[in-house]
Amino acid sequence: MNKRSRRQTAMWIITFALLIAGLYIFNDGSFYVSVWFMSLAICLFVLFVMSIPKSLRVNEQYIDIHCVVELTRIPISNIVEIRPIENKQLRWALPLAGSFGFGGYFGYYFNLRNGSMFKMYARQWGDFVMITDVYEDVYVINCKGSDNFIDFIKLMSSINQNQVSE
């Protein structure tokens, strides 16, 4: 995790701890509300931990994004567009269901600037690549050496198209 992710993770932990403490202190004798909130917070925490992207693997046919309990597989033959995007283009992206810095950046995001929705898999903020497939699903991932990654995917895509046409 980079500095920004660590800072936001600490901010979320402190926020949840303060909310739990506030519910406990200002509760008027009924303990079930704070227990309910604490169990909800624990469930959200477990969900976030299970969705953290762990690795990105690429072969001749697929891009595999491995999370703790999830595998997202993008067939290279289905990729319509792949391009690098700058950090400032994601400034207006808000998480709908996912994390914005708690262990990384992952989940469903909505871009306020152009009204699009995408799924993000990033362990740190930077080196983003946007992938659009034939089903108009948009994925934003981060990887070191994004230019080499894009060149490899374009090469594999052209090889796959040549094999299909023959």
Q: For position 134, what pLDDT does the model report?
A: 92
- pLDDT band at residue 139 under the 50/70/90 scheme: very high
Pairing of strands 62-67, 71-75: antiparallel
Q: For position 33, what pLDDT does the model report?
A: 65
Q: Using one digit for the tens of pLDDT, what is the confidence trace for 2-52?
A: 666 677 777 778 887 887 777 677 666 666 666 777 788 788 777 777 777
Would you kindly state where each structural domain of the chain is located, as residue ranges?
Answer: 1-166
Q: For residues 142 and 66, give the distance between their C-alpha atoms in angstroms, rounded to a whole number.
A: 13
3-class SS at 127? coil
- C-alpha pair distances (Å), 51 with each of 16, 134, 142: 19, 25, 15
Q: For position 132, what pLDDT does the model report?
A: 93
Considering the entire predicted model, what is its pTM?
Answer: 0.73
Mean pLDDT score across all residues of the chain: 81
Q: Is pLDDT larger for residue 86 or for residue 3?
A: 86
